[in-house]
Structure formats: structure tokens, C-alpha cells
Chain A
């Protein structure tokens, strides 16, 4: 098992897509920070978790809308289809690193890149045929799934750390200052989201292993990131409500729901609940992937 993990960590280090995806993510984060600078220069009003730009320049508003998908200002919970990045409510006159990171994480920008990597990494040995060199020679083939999961975890942590570092630099460059925000909340939030992101990556990894089709797996992963499943959740929620179960919210028990709904002032209870949900999903997905991989012919 240890050797299999070492093998996949070495493969992670040597795989080009590891760095390509990071570069693209960095570009997107920097771009969103650049558009943030334009927002910061305007008169802004924070309403709930959505930022509404008020500016006399119509060109500026349309340009910002291209970069950041705008959510409608409603008193009820907004229905988001697609990726959405919005800054949290802030009492201060400046934008903190935590504010921007929160917006990117909540909007699943970082999750998108992590799951793309997870699908590519999980299937590269299958697609290239390299698995033929090793699949029959390990005592328990399922350990190759665990080693992939460990490598994806390492990648998830590294990506979260990298995104913070990029944001620090971007804030300094585009805003001209670095304000951290509440460091304790920041740390708790990022730690919890790391678990949630890893669980999401495990879901996509398992789908990729089961389906064994890169295109289908990637489409499913991207759709889940873009909240397409909320349509399904909505239908299920209505069914549950019709059955008379009133206090059960499907979104509370989904990883993508938790990623989006985790508040920026995470309580201990929220954090533990999210981490426990992540662990349950991770275990289920790894066991499912392992079982399938052991039984299927290569």
C-alpha cells in the first residue's frame, strides 16, 4: 500500500496536468481579482451575500458582469444555475483576502479545477494502458484506488494553499493592500472546505473509475460543480415535502450544497457537521471505487 502511494505521489509530481491546471486556476483567480479592483473603485452596496454594483458607467457594469456572474438581489434564497462568485457581507471599507477566497470557494471556482484534475489523474493509467503493467502484479488491486485518493488529497490541500497564496499576491497588486480578515474564521473555514473539496474530488474520481470514459466523467464533474444537480435536488426536496417530512433539507446532506452554504463565520457545529459528511462520502466513494476496480477486468 505504501509503495502504491509513493508511486502515485511520484506520478502526481511528474504529471503535466498538475501544473497546467494550477496555472489556469492562477490566471482565473488573478483575473477575478483584477475585476475586483474595478468593483472596488465603484460605489458599492452589499446586500446579503450578493454584491450589487452601482455605477454610472454602463460599460463598466457590463464588463464586470462578464467576469463575475451576477446574482439577483432577492430577499429569499437565490437560485443559482452555474458558477457564481459573490463577496460576503462586510462591515469594513476594504476587501480582505478572506472575503475574496470565500467568494471563490463558495462559488466553486477552486472546486472546478480540483475535480478536473481528479478525473484526469484517476483515469490516466486506464486511458494510457499503463495499468496493464501493474494491475496484475499488486496483491490487492484496490490499493491503487486508495493511492489515487491519497494523491488527490495532497493535490487538494496544495491547491487550497496555492489559491490563498495567489490571492494574497493578487490583493497586494490590484488592491494595493493586504487585509486578512478574521484569521480564526479563515483557518476553520479553509480547513472545512478542504475536506469538502476532497470529498467532492473523491466523488468525481469514483465516477471516473466506474464509467471509464473521460468525456462523460468530465462532463458530470463540471455539471456537478455548476450546480446542475440542484434541479434534481429541488425535485427530491419537493417529493420529501409532499411525503410530510418538513425538516429535512437535501442540500444539507450534499457535498456541493455544503461547499456553497458554509458561512464565512463557521461555527464549530457547522464545521464538524461538514467534516463528518465529507468523511462519510469519502469512505463510501473509496470503497465503491475499490470494489469496482478489483472486480472488473483490465
Chain B
């Protein structure tokens, strides 16, 4: 069983009377890629800043690598973070920006910076000043800075913002490689749910400062997967029919709905059998739920804008 690397209990951040983060209980397993989903202003960045040590919680507790309270400072160097836009010295090169952080960490190994530059695809930038970098290059350098010191937990706040499709693929591959080869735990927030669905193993959905749900990838896929949706009166009467037809993966959702997650091609036969049994089927169709739709339904949808 994977150990818990990060755990928050009742984590809250208040600005005056406004609660930006409200009583968040989160746990992240070691080795996970945790996708943190939320709209603009939901509290993602505020939360990530508290995790990264950039902001002090108003109340609540963070447990990191088994350390709590003031002891967390002892292990703060084991976190690498990229929060909001990358913070870079514009008049220095990528190499110098990395070197400055290496100096702080006491890293003097030959080739270390070159290796990081290669990992993030900036090995050809030479003496070019970062103020002349494109947004994507700056974003990648920000990730590179977060990688200095081989952190055990990488916190990335919307790292694919501003990247072109190739850049997005490269960042995705980098994240997957770091997770698989270095066993790095990654906490990543994003608006681009489709991208997140390709890499995350666990999800946390935050809305108006409150963590609405924590869900594994399997559970989320189960919610969003294709299924036969049957709308009918008295679903309980349909259960013996489903059993006799050999259906096993189904769910009676409520008084009118049954979802069936297998043998989508048998929807017509199912309709016939139900009619034969005298059960009136109002609707029967094959559907799935987009991740975005799932998220919007959970958070109350577009009306919240």
C-alpha cells in the first residue's frame, strides 16, 4: 500500500473575510500524479502556495513526508514548485537562472545544469537572455528550476499554459518519465482537463475554496465511461431481466435510471426483453460523460460564472 506523502487537514486560508481555501482535507500517495482541477479563482494557486511554503495557512495542518508544523521546514527542500508564471531573471540566461538556484542548494556537480537543460529542451539557448524567451520556453525553464535538487514532490501550477501542442506533449512526457523513472510524486493543476486525464492517477476537484471530491482515475473513468442509459419506471423490476441476460456491470442510479457499463451492442435486445416483461422503457440510449461535463456537473456548471 502506497504511503501518504502529503496530507492536509482542515487547511484554510483567509484574506480578511474572504476564504480563498476552506477546510481542505487532501491526501496524496507517494508516486501518484495528482491532478488538481478547478476554475479560475477556485483556490488552486492559494492552496499550492501553502503546500510550497510560500504562504502561511490561516488554520489547519500540513503533513509532508511525515513531518508536521514547524518541522516541515526541515524537508521543504524536497519540494520543487512552479507557481503561476515562472519567476526568472530576465537579463540572465537559462543557465545562469539555474545556476543561481544550484548555488543555494550547494550543487556543484559537473554537467548537472546541462542535464536539466536537456530534460526541458533548452540545451540550445546558450547565452540568450530569458526576457527574449517565448512563453513556452519560460514555462519549461520554470519546470527546470523546480527540478533542481531532485525533489520528491513536484508542484506544478498550470505548467502547460502557453505551450504549443508539441510543447504540451513534451511536458507530458517529461512528467510521465519523472514519475515512472524517478518515482517522483507530482501535484499538477490545470484547466485543460483532457490533458490531465492522460497523465493523472488521482484527482482533486476544488470549487470556491472547497475540495468537492477526491477521486481515483479508475473511479473517474467509471463515472465518465460509455454506458447504456435506461430511463424507465420501477428500475427494480428490470434487475432480474438484466441478471437473466448476463449483465453484471450495471448500476441502479435512482428511481428512474439504470446505467449499464458493458455490452453496449445489446441495447436493442435489452429493450425487447424489458418490453416482453411488461416494463415500460421511456428512453434507452448509449452515452458517455466528458470529463469536463462531469466536472461542470459537480461544480454546478456554467451558471457559476
Contact = CB atoms under 8 A, between A and B. Distances in A.
Interface string A137-165: 11110000000000000000000000000
Interface string B68-95: 0000011011011101111111111000
B96 interface: yes
B100 A10 contact: yes
A131 interface: yes
Interface string A119-146: 0000011001111111111111000000
B87 A130 contact: yes
Given A132-B87, A139-B76, A297 B104 contact: no
Given A7-B103, A14-B92, A14-B96, A136 B52 contact: yes
Given A135-B53, A137-B79, A297-B49, A4 B104 contact: yes
A138 B103 CA distance: 12
- Most B Cβ at <10 Å: residue of A3, A128, A140, A295: A128
A136 B79 contact: yes
B213 interface: no
Interface in A173-205: none
Given A3-B105, A137-B79, A297-B54, A132 B84 contact: yes
Contact of A15 (B91, B101, B142): B91
Given A128-B88, A137-B76, A298 B104 contact: no
A134 B55 CA distance: 13
Interface residues of B, number: 36
Contacts of A128: 87-90
A298 B100 CA distance: 19
A136 B88 contact: no
B63 to A, nearest CB: 16
B91 A133 contact: no
Interface string A260-298: 000000000000000000000000000000000001011
17 contacts: A6-B106, A7-B101, A7-B103, A10-B100, A16-B91, A128-B88, A129-B86, A130-B100, A132-B81, A132-B83, A134-B101, A136-B76, A137-B53, A137-B77, A137-B81, A138-B76, A139-B74
Interface of B: 49, 52-56, 73-74, 76-77, 79-81, 83-92, 96-97, 99-101, 103-106, 142, 145-146, 149
Q: Which 7 A-B pairs have the closest CB atoms?
A: A129-B87, A136-B53, A7-B103, A298-B54, A297-B55, A136-B52, A7-B104
